[in-house]
Structure 1
Amino acid sequence: MAAIGVHFGYTCACVAVFKDGRADVVANDAGDRVTPAIVAYRDNEQIVELRQNRGEFEMLQTQSSNFDDPETQAHKAETKCEVINKGDKPFYKIQLDERTEHISPQEVAKLIFHKMKETAQSALGSDVKEAVITVPFEFAQAQKTALRYCTLVHLLTAAGA
């Protein structure tokens, strides 16, 4: 069975597969080996790796933060998207057609992980059930825990997350 590794950074993500004694970073649909950690919402579609679109969300800095945390407030000031307080947690407020939706940082992370899993499965030609997840050294334990939860609950069985 092949193994995969997913790196989830502040601005990008990538996936590598280990097969036949060799590790290779896998290219995404666009041929890039690094995918921007951005999700764009357009109409009823969620697209990972697009830039310069209406309703795009870069994620990770606020993975497990409270709304009033300095980290969240700094991210709120820098992002193009409206960040709102919902139950003392940050959510992105987006307008899709006639309706407003609130998207959690965890939902954005889940979509990016899903894209990495699809990329790995395409390269391997088989389903992926386990992964090693890496993050930047500076990530707080709460951020690591939030990502591990996204991975375990939504996509993969994490080994060493």
Structure 2
Amino acid sequence: MKVISQSFKNEDYIPIRYTCDGEDLSPALEWDQVANAKSYAIIVEDPDAPGGTFIHWVIYNITTNKLPEGVPKIHKSQYGIQGVNDFGNVGYNGPCPPKTHPAHRYYFYVYALDTILSEIRNIDANRLKSMISGHEVDKGFIMGKYKRR
């Protein structure tokens, strides 16, 4: 499953507007429509964080194959159900690596699922991953980098 963004190219730098140094908007994302997928889920991970993989976004029960820029940071919207990221917030919080670090990588994983999942308030990435286990029809990602100045 191919994942693309109008906001940045795969393996390129993520523009400031999608980070903690800018407007902290979620980037626009689009992916292949997958046959027999009933919904999609997205988990954004930074594997380069000092304490291990850091989660920047958890959203699921997406019923289209794209999201616009700036999904509202609320539990339930027309785009899907959002969980809690590792900042402790609902919705998207963008790249914000320590200023002393080299560029971190941010993986926007998109999961195509054969079901609509139960709505759970304040779900985290680990719980979502266990819920989607056995329901994945396909998976893809786009990766962007960011270094603070």
The TM-score with structure 2 as length reference comes to: 0.27
RCO higher in 1 or 2 (8 Å CA, sep ≥ 6)? 2
Greater Cα radius of gyration, structure 1 or 2? 1
Tell me which protein shows more helix as a share of its residues. Answer: 1
The TM-score with structure 1 as length reference comes to: 0.25
